[in-house]
Every structure is written in structure tokens, then in C-alpha cells.
Chain A
Amino acid sequence: MTTDEKTTMSSLPDERRTPLIRRLTGANTLWIGLVLLVLVAAFGAIRPDAVFQVTTLQFLLAETAVLLVLSVGMTFVIITSGIDLSVGSVLVFASVSSALAMNVVSGGDATNAGWGVIGFGLLVALVSGAVWGLLNGLLISRAKIPPLIVTLGSFGAAQGAALLLNNGSNVSGIPDRLNRTFGSGTYFGIPNIVIVAAVVTALGALLLSTTRFGRYTYAVGSNEEAARRVGISVRGHLTKVYLLAGTLAGLAGFMGNAFFRVAVVTGHETDNLNAIAAVVLGGTSIFGGTGSVVGTVFGVFIPAVLEKGLVIIGVREFWQPIAVAIVLVAAVWLDQTRRRARNQR
């Protein structure tokens, strides 16, 4: 027993809390945020003209928006000490089914379709994402199959199903109106797709940090048996978390349609790994129990900034994955060291 344990709480002011600054510096999030800031500042100092150009920033943000939405769902999953390898494939599936559905209700080509069709397309994207998420969730929580295996399965299955839907080709005919407003449209210079991603992220952050749903997410990841013994429905909660991740992947698919004006069936094979990397870079523990959506935002932008920054300052972009890998491994190593130190008490 250490001596400071003799201080009882009654001798302290009511609600004694660790000072804000100590809590912030103790969190991984702050450090990751600093890394991001330093990167931006460094690239900005080398080529201020190129880095702080409006179009550079717009592009960076828009390209990152889709990954951000996937990563918000992934944050919840990883905090429960799970993993979701299927997000990229589910995105493709949702994107293809939504584009096809819009075409079908417009008599074959939805290019000139109105808001009714667009709304229907959004619904189809969300529902198809949700269905895959629900399937993942049920297999993981009811059948007790490890998340890695379940989502490895749906990773392949959703991609295969998406290819089957349109014989392996991309789907065009995305409504112009959708592309103009959400794809290429901006609001005070910010691409609308980014605003959507920001709103989703903000809601996700609030859900995780202020609600009972968020608290149960941490509890299940921290000690599943403890959560069960206080009467939390662990199975139900896990199902909901994977359902959320699937639904967000569906939304991301719809955002992709709006941005690229086509539902593409390739190019999302590594979305899952990028999302996982972003979440872990952002300080969420791969062992579950801790993490934050804010951290994930930083984690999404670090690889993106590295990629753009290296190109702008003339370093070959092949260095980017190497740089990300180093930061990633360092982040996990730090987390592990911290946990080991903590568990030795």
C-alpha cells in the first residue's frame, strides 16, 4: 500500500478530479493530434504555397470523408475488442445495389432522376449495409465465431455478391442532381460530402462519449464477463455495434456514388485495413476498452496528410505506406507498454 492511499476521499474537495490538462496529456489522443499538427506545419513550412491551397485542402478532405465514415464505425467495433474486415466490401455492395436500385426505379438510367429516387437510393444503401452488419453481429454474438473469421467471410462474400449483382462491372447512371449537391457541391468552400462526414463523426463521437450505448461499448470491450454480470445484454450490444458499422459502410458507399458519379466495384480492397490503421493510430486500443472518435479523426488524416505532403514536397509517394507503418507499429507498441505497466500494479 502506498502512503497516498491513506488520503480518504472525504478529506478532498467534493468531486476531486484530475486536472483537465493532466487528463488530456495522459490521453493518446493529444499526442496523435500533435503528430498531425506537426506534419501539417512541416509540410506547410516547406511548401506553404502548395499545401495551403484551397483545392489541395478540398481534395484531401473529400477523399478522406468516405474513409472517415468507415472509421467511425470501426472505432466502436475495435473498442468492443472486435474487428470488422468487411467494411470495404460492404461499402462496394451498398454502392452497387443503391446505384442499381436507382436505375431500376428510373427505368434503366437514373442520371436525370429527382430527389425521390435519390432518397430511395440512400435507403437501399443504408439497408444493404445494415443487413451485412446485422449478419456479422449475429454470427459473432450468437454463434460465438471470432469477429476476425466472421468478417473475413463477409469481406469475401459481400465483394462477391456485389460483383454478381452487375456482372462484375461498375454501375453508372448516378443522378446528376446527387453529384452536383453532395458530390462536387461545396458550402462556404467545404465540400458537402465532407460536411456529411463531419456530422456523422460528431454524432458518433457524442454517441460514444456521452451515452449509455457508448458506455456499454467500452464495458463490453474492457471486460465482457463483468458487463454480463451487471446485467448488460452483451450479445445484443455486440449485434448493435456491428449493425452500426455496417450501416455506416452503407452510407459511405452512397457518399462514394455521389462523389465519383459511378458505383465502382474495385479499389476498396484495403479500406478495411486503412480504417483499422486510422482507428489504432488514433489511440484506440486494439485490445478493446479504450479509444475515441476524436482520435480516429486524427488517425484518418495522418496517412492522408503524409501522402499528399510527400507528393507536394517531392518525396516519392512510395514512402507513405512505410511512414504510416512506422507510426502505426509505434502506436500499438506504446499502448501495449502502457497496459503492461498498468496491469503490473
Chain B
Amino acid sequence: MSRPLLEARDLTKNYGTVEALRGASFTAYPGEVVSLIGDNGAGKSTLVKCLSGVEQPTSGTLTFDGEPLHLSSPNDARDRGIETVFQDLAVAPDLDPAANMFLGREILKPGVLGFFGVLDKKAMRRQASEHFTRFGATLQSIDVPIAALSGGQRQSVAVARSVAWASKLVFMDEPTAALGVVQRERVLDVIKRVRDEGIAVVLISHNMPEVLSVSDRVEVLRLGRRVARFKASDTSVEELVGAMTGALTQEDADQ
């Protein structure tokens, strides 16, 4: 395989006395879909937060594109083309979908108005609208607060926002959890299209058939460590579940 895009080694993360990560390693290769699976509490969300600059690991090293990487804030990750759909979505419920998509990346009016920080709401709304259409977020209207949308719609907005800005890697922490069948298919479709543009996708999901159908590889996290890695084409639901529960172990997986 080619050189890894992102490699995490021996990450630990303690919250007080809770050890959320106990020497977790993780690898993502350029342009692949890799699923990160594990039981509830295995540390998947914590790992994603450490890899997107939201939390700082207690110890461990990261390399990105072969260079050592230190993420001291979410901006450090964003600057490198890494975007994240957080499990709790992290959207501002009182703002509309367009405002959420451009949050932290607002388009300003040209000239003097822009100097004073005046927003170009029309441009943002237009671009957001095109983008949501392209990435299958179905909304009746684009100027209602996110809170007025259904859980599924909120999730699609968060997905659309992340893929709008990612140029290298997208983390999606349970992006299909609240979705109906149609919307779920649409998100999986988005994942494949993003991958086809050469952007790596890290998918977290509890739905094993979904994981097997969309991924190139699967990494398994258990009790804060990586316990197994599989090629999606040579594994099965039984094997994945075995690794998640500890019934099956791979010797070299935590290297």
C-alpha cells in the first residue's frame, strides 16, 4: 500500500481517572474509505476528537503526509484539509443551514463593507443551496434554524458541511445513526463520491453490512486500543463482531 495519509501511534487520553484511549493506533490511507468500529465506549469518538484537534491526546504521536503533526486546535486540522462530522453534530441550532455551513468561514462583501466584516449572505445562501443539492441534503427551505429540522436533516447538513471543506480527510462519527433508509443510502453515496475525488473517509458506524459495503478497510477499537485490521473484501460480519467483543484477536494490530 502507499504511504499512509494519517497515522496515529500509541495515543492515550485520560479524562481524570477514565482512560478513554489506552495506546490506540490508527491509520488512514489517501483516498480510501476506512471504517472504525468498536463497541460503545471503545473510544472511537475520543480518537476522532484527538485526530481533529478538538481534544489533545495525553500522549502519542501523529504523522500526516509523512510529516509529524501536532493539533493544538480544530483550526490546525481544518488548515490541513481535515473535516469532521461529530457524533453530537456540533451545529448551531439557532442558525440556518447556510450559516452553519459557512460558520467560521464566512464570505464577506467585497470592498469597504467587507472590511467592516459585513457578510455576503446571498452568496453564502446560493453556494450552500447548490452544495446541499449536490450532496443530497433535502431541506424544504434554507432559512429556517437547524433546530426546526428533523434529526436526519440535521445530520445531512453536518455531512454536507464537512465534505464541502475537506480536501484530504473526513471523519464521520456515526453519520447515519438518525437516518431513514433513503437518507442513509444518500450518505453512503456521498461517502463514495468523496472517496472518488481522492479524499479519504473515516466512517464510524454500528451497522456492519453498511460498513462492509462501503469500506475498503476496517479497523477495530476495543477498550481504547486497536485490536484488529481487516480488508473489507476478505472479512465478514462474524469476524468483525468477534474482534469487537474480544473473541478474536490479531497479534500485531496495536503496532
Name A's B-contacting residues (CB within 8 A).
Answer: 1-2, 4-10, 14-18, 23, 210-213, 215, 218-219, 221-223, 225-232, 289-290, 342-343, 345
Contacts and interface: CB of A to CB of B under 8 A. Distances in A.
A49 B147 CA distance: 48
B198 interface: no
Contact of A342 (B106, B147, B152): B147
Interface stretch (B37-45, B132-140, B224-232): B132-140
Contacts of B93: 222-223, 289
B94 to A, nearest CB: 4
Interface in B128-157: 129, 132-133, 136-145, 147-153
B133 A10 contact: yes
21 contacts: A1-B150, A1-B182, A5-B150, A8-B133, A9-B133, A17-B141, A210-B121, A211-B119, A212-B106, A212-B119, A215-B106, A218-B92, A218-B95, A226-B89, A226-B103, A227-B103, A228-B54, A229-B54, A229-B74, A231-B73, A231-B78
A219 B142 contact: no
Given A218-B92, A223-B93, A289-B93, 13 more contacts: A1-B182, A4-B140, A8-B136, A10-B133, A212-B117, A218-B95, A226-B90, A226-B92, A229-B90, A230-B78, A231-B74, A290-B94, A342-B147
Given A5-B153, A9-B129, A17-B143, A225 B90 contact: yes
A232 B90 CA distance: 13
A16 B95 contact: no
B19 to A, nearest CB: 23
Contacts of A215: 95, 99, 103, 106, 119
A228 B78 CA distance: 12
A219 B119 contact: no
Nearest to B83: A230
B125 A15 contact: yes
Given A5-B138, A7-B140, A231-B73, A289 B149 contact: no
A23 B142 CA distance: 12
Contacts, number: 121
**Residue from the set A211, A225, A343 with the largest chain B CB neighbour count within 10 Å:** A211
Interface in B84-140: 84, 86, 88-95, 99, 103-106, 108, 116-119, 121-122, 125-126, 129, 132-133, 136-140
- In the A-B complex, the 4 residue pairs with the smallest Cβ-Cβ separation, listed nearest first, are A230-B104, A289-B94, A222-B92, A222-B94
Nearest to A17: B143
Interface residues of B, number: 52
Given A222-B94, A290-B94, A345-B149, A6 B119 contact: no
Given A5-B138, A17-B141, A289-B94, A345 B148 contact: yes
Nearest to A79: B94
B27 interface: no
A222 B152 contact: no
B75 interface: yes
B180 interface: yes
A232 B104 contact: yes
A210 B180 contact: no
Given A226-B91, A289-B92, A212 B141 contact: no
Contacts of A5: 138, 140, 150, 152-153
A225 B89 CA distance: 10
A2 B149 CA distance: 11
**Residue from the set A9, A17, A225, A232 with the largest chain B CB neighbour count within 10 Å:** A9
